[in-house]
Amino acid sequence: MTKDREVAAKALLVGAPLKTSGFSDGKNHLVELSRLAMTAGAKVVGVVSQNISKKNPRYLIGKGKIEELAVTVNSTTADLVIFDDELTPLQGKSIEDHLGVRVMDRSELILDIFAKRARSREAKMQVELAQLQYLMPRLRRMWTHLSRIRGGIGLRGPGETQLESDRRLIGRRITTLRKRLRALDKARLNRSKAREDEFQVALVGYTNAGKSSLLRALSNRDVLVEDRLFSTLDSKIRTVELGDGFEAMVTDTVGFIRKLPHHLVASFRSTLEGIREAALLVHVIDASQEEWSNQRVVVEEVLGTLGLEGIPQILVFNKIDSLQKEELIDLKHRVRKEKQPAVFVSALVIGSLEILKTAIRSYLQQSFRHLSMKLRASDGQSLAILHEAGEIVQQEYEGHFTTIEVRIPHKVAGRLLKSADVVLLKEHGIT
């Protein structure tokens, strides 16, 4: 007997952009919502949109439009309606009661996709925490049919409803998840200390900008690459050879998206704040996207929310192989007007990555101190650190002492020079 395949939900998409946002923005947003719906496994059977002056507190859209939506639900036989904007608990219940089908908003849809994508224990807990926080104020909508049930023997306490019981259970689960995630934060901190002498780079960007493809091409190592939204939830770290004996630890991070649910941002905050350890952010932008500038703003806003906007940044326009020659020339001209460091690459064209490696290496070299120092020849530990973390320019032995000229990261130099057995002879300029 074969197992029945899960039938894809037939989804009707609804957009309600404010009139001040512009028609083209609303259209692009619905295109993205369609991709999200398909990523979640739904089949899109129709799209309805209404530009509104203000949000209807009961239905989000106007009363006439909700009637039109009900007719469209029947004609398309849709069994799921997805709104591009977050619905209040009242709006969600009112719309669902009126249409008679399941109603979701953008936030719930994204949470569902994250739940399917989560692989590691930490990612699963982070997504579950975000889902429970989202669910808590919406429980009444789910349990309306049970809200009047009185207490029963062996079922619940006197006068206690199923709704109240669920609220307590979810509250306890949220507390448990937060404790476990704090414990994982401590373990992450210990791992990051082991990498503190490494030059760390973080790839950030809008979802599906090609960060994973770029990491695989840079490191020549297997990294999951899929042409779909949110293929990466767990951070991946790879060593990348930059040339001239330099290397960097490059981290791939979860992609950002417009209207990322705030509960999700809060739950993934500890993972995203791993970006804080980076000396350089490589902001990957999909050059083939017409609204890449809007996507760039979204990423900058999330980084700002996390307090990470002060980290040096290189803009990397990826997927330039998808552009015509004239389009690429126009793009470069537009970007260079902003006078912000930017490179143009394709993860599919290995040769184009050398300019990116050179740009990263340039930042790495600026983070080094060029020093001449004197230490005891018997100080094997300090010598080992210098050889492992630095670039030796010259080394000479003078009796019981060693004079060494080295380029070394600021953090390592600071620790070594605190030792009474290490004497600074000269600090050279950056070369």
Domain boundaries, the chain: 10-109, 118-191, 196-365, 368-428
Q: What is the average per-residue pLDDT within 94-106? A: 92
In CATH terms, are 196-365 and 368-428 the same topology?
A: no
pLDDT, one tens digit per residue, over 188-215 is 766 666 566 678 899 999 988 889 889 9
Q: What is the CA radius of gyration of the chain?
A: 27
- Alpha carbon distance 117, 131 (integer Å): 14
Please give the Cα distance from 66 to 89 (Å, whole number).
Answer: 17
d(CA 54, CA 93): 19
Location of structure tokens 């209807």: 56
Q: For domain 368-428, say whether CATH 2.30.30.700 is its number.
A: no
Indicate the average pLDDT of the chain.
82
- Residue 257 tokens read as 């998206």
Distance CA 424, CA 416 (A): 10
Q: DSSP 3-state assignment of 396?
A: strand
For 196-365, give the CATH class: alpha beta
Residue 280: closest CA among 341, 351, 214: 341
Element (H, E) at 243: strand 236-243
Residue 61 has pLDDT above 90, yes or no: yes
Per-residue pLDDT tens for 302-350? 888 888 888 889 999 999 999 999 999 999 999 988 878 899 999 888 7
Residue with tokens 């996207």: 289
Residue 59, pLDDT > 90, answer: yes
Q: In CATH, what is the architecture of 10-109?
A: 3-Layer(aba) Sandwich (3.40)
pLDDT in tens, 125-178: 888 998 888 888 887 665 543 443 334 333 344 445 667 788 888 899 999 999
* Burial of 21 (C-beta count, 10 Å sphere; 0-12/13-18/19+): exposed
Q: Which residue shows structure tokens 């992609």?
A: 255
Please report the pLDDT score of residue 144 as a whole number: 46
CB contact burial 322-358 (16+ within 10 A = b; e otherwise): ebeeeebeebeeebeeeeeebbbbbbeeeebbeebbe
Mean pLDDT of 344-357: 89
